[in-house]
Amino acid sequence: MIVDPETRENKKSSFDKRLAEARAKIGKHDDADGQQNKDADDGQSLSHGYRMGLEFVSAVAVGAFIGYWLDRWFGTSPIFLIGMFLIGTLTGFRNLMRLLESTNDETDGKAGGKTGDGLDDKTGENE
């Protein structure tokens, strides 16, 4: 089926109009630069927060679980449980630090490599 360019352009503008109406209806509109509003950033921050909590809790839980089963296997008191709980806690903090560093690297890339002090991150020279 051959569609002439005028019909294609009308369909595209109709779609853009309906998309803008739908975004306005749910509260996600574009600002003057074509960027989505603060709702997208809030959702991403919430996602990072949940991920950090889940990674920390899961590292501690896995460490404690392994320690519990080692204690049962060797017939010891909570020696392995306490040790593996501490190792799991340290691993959880390490995972949080890695996640925060990667998040920081992503935000530095969005800012264009500028710190707030007027120096370029890569060269350390004035702008």
Amino acid 16: pLDDT: 84
| CB neighbourhood size of 125 (10 A) | 8
Comparing 100 with 8, which gets the higher pLDDT?
A: 100
- Rounded (5°) CA angle 6-30-40: 130
The pLDDT of residue 54 is above 60: yes
What are the angstrom distances between the C-alpha of 99 and each of 52, 71, 105, 106?
7, 32, 10, 11
Q: What pTM, to 2 d.p., does this model score?
A: 0.56
Amino acid 97: pLDDT: 95
26: left (phi over 0), alpha (psi -120 to 50) or beta: alpha
The pLDDT of residue 111 is above 60: no
